[in-house]
Amino acid sequence: MAKKDKDGNWLDDRGRPVPEQYIPAIDKKRDKLVEATFKKVVKLAEKIAETKVEIVGSIDKYLDEIAKENRVRENWKGNILLQNFDKSLVIERRIDDHIGFDEKLQMVKTIVDKWLNDRLDGIDENLGKVITQAFNVDKQGRVNTAMLMKLLHLEIEDSEWKKAMRMLKESIIVKSSKQSINFRRKVKKDSGEVWETIVLNFNDIVATAKKEKKDAE
- Asked if 181 and 51 touch (Cβ cutoff 8 Å), the reply is no
CA distances from 1 to 28, 30, 32, 39 (A): 9, 11, 7, 11
Nearest Cα to 169, choosing from 151, 154, 143, 156? 151
Looking at the fold, whether 109 and 162 belong to one and the same domain comes out as yes
23, 58, 76 — which closes off a domain?
76
> Between 174 and 205, where is the model more confident?
174
Looking at the fold, whether 62 and 20 belong to one and the same domain comes out as yes
- pLDDT tens string 46-57: 998 899 889 989
Is the residue at 92 inside a domain?
no
79: Cβ–Cβ under 8 A, 6 or more apart, which residues?
92, 93, 94, 95
Instruction: Give the whole-angstrom CA distance, residue 79 versus residue 81.
Output: 7
Is the residue at 188 inside a domain?
no
pLDDT of residue 215: 45
Going by pLDDT thresholds of 50, 70 and 90, the confidence category of residue 201 is confident
- pLDDT tens string 158-195: 999 999 999 999 999 988 878 889 999 999 998 889 99
139, 157, 174 — which closes off a domain?
174
- Asked if 187 and 197 touch (Cβ cutoff 8 Å), the reply is no
pTM, full prediction: 0.62
Going by pLDDT thresholds of 50, 70 and 90, the confidence category of residue 211 is very low
Is the residue at 63 inside a domain?
yes
> Between 13 and 204, where is the model more confident?
13
- pLDDT tens string 29-79: 999 999 999 999 999 989 988 998 899 899 999 999 998 998 887 777 778
Is the residue at 208 inside a domain?
no
Domain span at 47: 1-76
Give yes or no for residue 213 having a pLDDT over 90: no
pLDDT of residue 208: 54
Stated as kind and residue range, the H or E segment containing 169 is helix 159-171
Report the domain count for the chain: 2
